[in-house]
Amino acid sequence: QEKTHYEGVMTTKVLPDIKTAEAEYADLQQRRQEYFKKASIICSESDMEALSHVAGSTPEQLSAKINRLKQRFDQESRRYAESIDDLRALHDKKERKILRKQQLYAGFRVKLNSCQKALDLRWKKFQRNAGLLKRQLTWLFNEHLGKKGISGFINVDYKSKVLSVELTMPQDASRDTVRDTRGLS
């Protein structure tokens, strides 16, 4: 008896509601497909996915946002009178000029580096030759002074451009330094 009661309730109250909901669902599904076809004619699905950040916005919100963007565009257009094409042409021209300058400076950098290398090499040769010349001059000087009994050395400072000669004169029996410098000539 209870079973028949529940079956009766099911057939009279629940099943018609389910059938109505299923029919409504099928109708909505069909309308969604029709709207999707119409919408894809106006705007592709990939464009809609790109606009996913505005999903959930009302048409009024979107309209207000479009109006703000138009106003900003008009303001910027009045503020900067040049056309986009003119600006792109100017940008390309400046980019080419910068590229030429960079290439020119790169060439200068290569030349500067080779000049620096040559200068370093010449400076090393100069230092080597200066050292050898100083040694040779000191040997010859000491040899010449040694014949007269005097010893000494030569100091050459190329940076301050100073040539100094330091001598040790022979001493007499009383251990005083000899004042006679005629032998140096």
Reading the block at residue 34, the tokens are: 């029709």
Confidence of residue 128 (pLDDT cuts 50, 70, 90): very high
Rounded-to-integer distance, Cα 50 and Cα 80, Å: 29
Which segment of 43-47, 58-62, 105-109 scores lowest on mean pLDDT?
43-47
The whole-number pLDDT of residue 183 equals 58
pTM given for the model: 0.42
Q: Give the CA distances from residue 125 to residues 30, 107, 113, in Å, rounded to whole numbers and listed in that order.
A: 94, 27, 18
Q: Tokens standing for 61?
A: 């919100």
Percent pLDDT > 90 in the chain is: 32
The arithmetic mean of pLDDT across residues 109-132, rounded, is 95
Give the mean model confidence (pLDDT) for residues 1-12: 80
